[in-house]
A and B are shown apart, each in its own frame.
Chain A
């Protein structure tokens, strides 16, 4: 069984549409933001690494220059030179000479020198790069008489000359970054001084803080120091160490990392790394928060907007339907709906409806006129059955309307009375002609037949719905205030006003018309008779109204020619 569902309210519809639209819009924005943000964040991380690299390269160049100039200052130390030169002079030709005290001199001087700088080690080498002594916190990594193998690819192209260079040396477990400067006595090269910085975790940490990125130092295919996690460091080592690319993006420990070569010294490369995912998480959080705010704002706005829209649409419609309901309830086709002014469509609809109602009203009026015409024709025909009563119904109708005007009745009621008066004797259609036209007095049986005509008329009218207002007039126009009337014997105020009026008008016209058995009585006399029976046979106020109305009535040309009464 299909149940007919109640359609949703307009407000629900507009709200739903607005919310769905906003939600879909937000969804699309969300997806676009997610997709584009990752790329943008990656670009940002890469460009950040690039600027870090530039900055770092500049800072590093400066730092190395500082180290170099410090080293050059140290290399100019006369005592250091004297110690080296003296040592070399004395062992030059006598390999067996005891060197201990000479070397101790060198060590003492080196200790003095090292105390003035914060390098990890200061190393004095001879012309063959064999260490003669070392000082500083990590001096023990530089054993005496051991040749230092220095990997350097960058020759300082400065005023310091060809033998100043920047390199990397592996001593034991430690990798050192080494700045070397020559020791000169006059114009003669007598040895070299190494200022060594250990490339260890502390160094990486320092770079990390300086560059604000993760740092990995790779030498000979191995990560020697890093601020990455051990796992990520291993992955980075296997991915990068062999080829040592300039830059790129690789996954480390489940996160995408962009990396870039900061500086290369010998076979050792310093890398800066930035996690794309870590950065994008932050950016994504910010974006999500903003999107959520915008979304809430958008949904609220859409809600308010659609609510307003629904109200503007549904309010006038509600007003229209209320008016329609009222009109339908009262069978009122003459009223017109007011224009809402809310929208062109609604006003057009209202106007069309009004036009429709107007035509319906006209059609109904035509129908009524047709009915009325037919009934009037019937009444006229009825009147015409008896020459004495010809035109009676029309005259009663005119009189009754005149009385109504005297009583200041509203137009609607006058209309009811006018037609009612026209039809008041319609029931006589059932009265046989011999009874109706009988010139003499009626027998009781004949009068009983006559007395049935209001009931018959009422019964006839009941079959025509729009004539129902007139039924009481037709049915009760022979009731008397004293209860002596027929068919119901109603009393006083129980008799409807219309019936009272028609009763008086009927009586007056009957008296002023000729009958087969009497002549017409003059209006004054008839009025006299009415006044005499006021309160018993007729209602006094109606008689008064008739009296007031009479001059207008009597001025009309007499109907039906000479009176027969």
Chain B
């Protein structure tokens, strides 16, 4: 379910570019879809600690139809493997960025992917070692460990810089965008995209509220 609210921006004018700010809300209502079960045992080797990061940090907000001209800023990122978990679960990067996968557990891990945007296998390596990869194709890259089948993470690779991950309260602000009409998306690995149309104006920032139907632990917001 998607709730869209465009509030009136205040102040700040910018030529040919506008700010987009907003808030992401997680809810539990997912009509027509089975709820994920928590009844299954965890077949893990060692202690299994779910990610300490709250679920809101697994949401990515981005402009779906943004075009970017010129060189794309790249970054170096880290996807730590610790407690049989990828930390963070969700990573958003620009095309050409590099992600390293250090092993923080006292046993071997592996990183592989079958995704079209990045089909690779970094092999198995022990604690303290790391492997890295440059992601040169935009799209969704699901990464797994072939030793621990319950481990997975998602890397969203974008052709543009107009994306972000909300803070713990769900607030976000996208980089300044050229004015115009866009589709803004709130993405979560379990529900995919929840989108809405927005209009970006130079005179005032656009404020957006995105509702993503994802349960959070046992408590639902």
Contacts and interface: CB of A to CB of B under 8 A. Distances in A.
Given A85-B152, A86-B113, A102-B116, A78 B146 contact: yes
A82 B189 contact: no
Contact of B149 (A81, A161, A188, A189): A81
A79 interface: yes
A189 B43 contact: no
Contacts of A102: 114, 116
A83 B147 contact: no
A86 B192 contact: no
B43 A90 contact: no
A163 interface: yes
A161 B145 contact: no
Interface string A140-183: 00000000000000000001111100000000000000000010
Given A161-B40, A187-B40, A188-B190, A90 B140 contact: yes
B33 interface: yes
A78 B41 contact: no
Interface string B108-119: 000011111000
Contact of A78 (B115, B116, B149): B149
B34 interface: yes
Interface in A68-99: 76-79, 81-83, 85-86, 89-90, 92-93
A98 to B, nearest CB: 9
Interface in A447-478: none
A185 B152 contact: yes
A83 B148 contact: no
A68 to B, nearest CB: 14
Nearest to B51: A186
B131 interface: no
Contacts of A159: 41
Interface residues of A, number: 29
B192 A82 contact: no
A127 interface: yes
A158 to B, nearest CB: 10
Given A127-B33, A182-B37, A188-B190, A89 B113 contact: no
A266 B116 CA distance: 41
B144 A82 contact: yes
A101 interface: yes
A185 B34 contact: no
A104 to B, nearest CB: 11
B36 interface: yes
A86 B115 contact: yes
Contact of B150 (A89, A162, A184): A184
A162 B42 CA distance: 15
Interface string B143-162: 01111111110100000000
A105 interface: yes
Nearest to B194: A93
Contact of A182 (B40, B145, B189): B40
A272 B8 CA distance: 77
Contacts of B147: 78
Contacts of A77: 149
B113 A185 contact: no
Contact of B39 (A78, A89, A162, A188): A162
Contacts of B144: 78-79, 81-82, 85
Given A77-B149, A78-B146, A81-B144, 9 more contacts: A76-B149, A79-B112, A79-B146, A85-B152, A89-B192, A162-B37, A163-B37, A184-B37, A184-B40
25 contacts: A76-B43, A77-B149, A78-B145, A78-B148, A79-B144, A81-B149, A85-B142, A89-B142, A89-B154, A89-B189, A102-B116, A127-B33, A161-B37, A161-B40, A162-B39, A182-B37, A182-B40, A184-B37, A184-B150, A185-B149, A185-B152, A186-B50, A187-B38, A187-B42, A189-B36
Interface of A: 76-79, 81-83, 85-86, 89-90, 92-93, 101-102, 105, 127, 159-163, 182, 184-189
Interface of B: 33-34, 36-43, 50, 112-116, 139-140, 142, 144-152, 154, 189-190, 192-193
